[in-house]
A and B are shown apart, each in its own frame.
Chain A
Amino acid sequence: MRVEYINPFVEAAYNIMTEVLQTEVERKDLYLKKTTQPVMGVAALVGLAGDVEGRVLIDMSQDSAIKIASTMNGEKLTSMDELAKATITELANMITAQAVTKLFDLGFKFDLTPPSIITGENMSVSDANVEALIVPLEMPQGLVEINVAIRERA
């Protein structure tokens, strides 16, 4: 993954999480994962197109997702209901949009697809021939991984 793309995603994820949750967010070490990776339980997906092709996946456990949605809504949610899903989807949208804005300032042009959310147990994701950059963020609500797999258009 192109070096210039990394920072915008890390910064955007960190800024948005800190802002919406109003809490301490700890950045952990970034790393690369091979193509097929397990998904923790709730995955919000945003596609990217333009100079590049790929996608951003915001991945967390169901428990963390409910807690994060509760915090963002200012009310206690108990299950992964419509409101919780909409909230996580919006979170993914905010993070990706801010990253894309930062990238545009650096001269890269990306387009976004509308976010979608996938929930379930024992899921994994694979992307043909692209390795994914994982940005792990630890917060009181749990671990959230921003999983970015993009490549230059051939």
Chain B
Amino acid sequence: MKHVSLKETKDQKGQTRIDFKMVTFTLAGKDYGIDIMKVKEISKASKFTFVPNAAPFVKGVYNLRGDIISVIDMRIFFNLKAEETEGDTENMIILRLDSHVISVIVDSIDKVVGISSEAIQPPHPLFGDINIKYISGVVENEGSLYVILDVERILGDEEPGDGRAQESRSTPSISSDAPFEARESTVPTTASAVKEDVDIGFIEETLITFLSFYSSPVNQEWIRSRFSSWKKQKGEDVQLGNVQDAEAYLSPFPSPFSGNYWNSDYAEKVTSFLPADNTGNFYVWNPGCESGYESYSVACLVKNRLPDVHLRIIAHDNDLIRISTAPGLVVNQASLGGLYDNFLTNGSRGKQFNKEIKDAILFEYHDITHDNTLPKLDMVVMRDTVSYIVPDKQQHIFNTLEEVMKPGGLLILGAHEQPINPGAWERLENSGVVAYKKK
């Protein structure tokens, strides 16, 4: 349920700078919002444990995965008419306030709306249903007017105990606001850290939307470090409003020589990780090979270092157009450097790789998130591939690797990627180029 939150916001992205997100819901047919930073999660539940002698708006307590939290019925709390949900499950918003976690029941939960905090207007003194001091503002979005509730004031700090809430319903301006002012002054330090987390969270969501780039332990370190340079470049306006922004954000991500043959220098560094001698079969898996540049580069460097092995490269991609051109890829460059010279022949359409190299590579149209049938592998070249796969499939792929790679097998990931389970790999480095050796 939590995930709904960030996704929904992209619709609004284009229009304004979004720095405030709220979960919207309805109470007695009217729209309300709560700051998303206060919302822990959303859930549905029924059968609350009744607490005797509690205030009428306390619906009871609820066991949230082992934590007992109290459940407040917002409608009764605000003297609104409760929708008949007899025997049905209730919609709950679980709030994480400064002091405790509490759950509120609302009529229906709508979605997450992203707005610019500048658009929030102060509440009008004539507001009826809900006491004005519990309202932090009003905002208009796509034709709907949302009343933003200040949940810290409503439920925070003091228990939403009998006295206060009762007062709130009957007499509008009695209780002292002193404790709230004190708390507000402590907020900014944590708020900036939280804001950065939120900003990165939005960026991660946007990267998924625009470029199917998934944040995960594989690339999180890079996303964070990239965020600080991005912030320097863009100032306050860090959000990615469109595909171009997203592409700009990811522009430093691709590994060296993506979509091209590796140059001799890079190939040499990778070669240095290979075992010095090896005979027999040498199996390489190259998922996400695209048009095959990477596969040919790897074939040449392995053959150069280990001329006697029986090399087999299994190259996979799920982009049919790209991989279709791979088996007949021609070399347009005048020279690719010494590494490749021995392996090129002149074909009818220009220079091509010789039979030895071509026979070593098997290009397959295959989706690696499906089952992978692979031999025991000596090497895996998977640069900038897993980052574009949904995280639970990433896990699946790393599990596959741990299963099918020989001990001592070599894994080459993208320049800004790392394995999900670092414990299973030994990190090797040669002047900036990194490989992982299976333990």
Contact = CB atoms under 8 A, between A and B. Distances in A.
Interface of A: 1-4, 6-7, 30, 32, 34-35, 129-131, 133, 151-152, 154
Given A3-B323, A3-B324, A133-B365, A32 B373 contact: no
Contacts of B375: 154
B370 A6 contact: no
B324 A32 contact: no
A11 to B, nearest CB: 13
A6 B371 CA distance: 19
Interface string B321-341: 001101100000000000000
Contacts of B324: 3, 6-7
Interface string B302-330: 00000000000000001010011011000
Given A3-B323, A6-B320, A152 B370 contact: no
B366 interface: yes
A29 to B, nearest CB: 8
A34 B369 CA distance: 9
B371 A35 contact: yes
A4 B371 contact: no
9 contacts: A1-B364, A1-B365, A1-B366, A2-B362, A3-B323, A6-B320, A129-B371, A152-B362, A154-B375
Nearest to B326: A3
Contacts of A34: 370-371
B327 A130 contact: no
B373 A130 contact: yes
Given A3-B327, A131-B370, 6 more contacts: A1-B366, A3-B324, A6-B365, A131-B366, A131-B367, A154-B375
B363 interface: yes
Q: Interface residues of B: mostly helix, strand, loop or mixed?
A: mixed
Interface in B343-365: 362-365
Contacts of A151: 373
Contacts of B320: 6, 30
Contact of B366 (A4, A7, A30, A32): A32
A32 B363 contact: no
Report, as a range, how many residues of chain B touch the other chain.
10 to 19
B362 A32 contact: no
Given A30-B320, A32-B318, A2 B364 contact: yes
A40 B218 CA distance: 40
A146 to B, nearest CB: 14
Contacts, number: 41
A3 B373 CA distance: 16
A29 B118 CA distance: 46
A3 B371 contact: no
A131 B364 CA distance: 11
A154 B323 CA distance: 22
A6 B373 CA distance: 19
B376 to A, nearest CB: 12
Contacts of A4: 327, 363
A8 to B, nearest CB: 12
Counting from the closest, the 6 A-B pairs by CB-CB distance are: A3-B363, A129-B373, A131-B370, A32-B367, A34-B370, A1-B365
Contacts of B365: 1-3, 6, 32, 133
B367 A3 contact: no
Nearest to B372: A129
Nearest to A35: B371
B284 to A, nearest CB: 15
A35 B370 contact: yes
A131 B366 CA distance: 8
A1 B324 CA distance: 11
A131 B371 contact: yes
Nearest to A151: B373
Interface string B235-257: 00000000000000000000000
Contacts of A1: 364-366
Nearest to B323: A3
Contacts of A131: 366-367, 370-371
Contacts of A3: 323-324, 326-327, 363-365
B237 to A, nearest CB: 38
Nearest to A2: B364
B281 to A, nearest CB: 12
A32 B362 CA distance: 18
Contacts of A35: 370-371
B363 A2 contact: yes
A46 to B, nearest CB: 20
